[in-house]
Amino acid sequence: MKKILFALVCFVLPFAIAQDVMRIVILPFNASSSIEAYGLGLATSLQRSLNAINNVYVPPVGDAFQVTQRLLQTEQINPANVASAFDAGVLIAGDIKEEANNTGSVLLGFSGPDYPESKQVEVTVPLDSPRALVQQVTDAILRELNLNATPD
């Protein structure tokens, strides 16, 4: 039995090591009360979209939110601690602001071990088309993180 287990580990271990997984934590976005649903909705949509990419893992947004709440209670909240809780290299948070004519802007904040200097990226989005909003923000994240994804 030990020989079989050892052989299995020897077979699987190289594949596990070869797969360098990018771990990204996404927090709910801050949003004004008139577009409050976008705060959690956008974060969850991004989490699902990015998880469809090979070698990318984004934990559930609710888990990330709970971790940040615990860190906030213990006064240990900072990007490094949030990222560390998930062994993530990137932490993404941001704000959604409503502007004129059903448009808005999403300010993405990138931090964590892969971002020693925090970085912000702003994306103008349509607020009357949630699908287009998610697509434009996802595209901005893919560009920033230099990730390739298929159109699907």
> What is the number of alpha carbons within 13 Å of residue 95 lying toward its C-beta?
7
Secondary structure of 63-120 in HEC code, one letter for each residue: HHHHHHHHHHHCCCCCHHHHHHHCCCCEEEEEEEEECCCCEEEEEEEEEECCEEEEEE
Q: pLDDT tens-digit profile of 53-70?
A: 999 999 999 988 888 889
Per-residue pLDDT reduced to its tens digit, 23-52: 999 999 999 888 888 899 999 999 999 999
Query: Quick check: pTM over 0.85?
Result: no
Q: What tokens were used for 69?
A: 């709440």
Question: Looking at residue 42, what is its pLDDT?
Answer: 94
User: Strand 30-31 and strand 115-126: pairing?
Assistant: unpaired
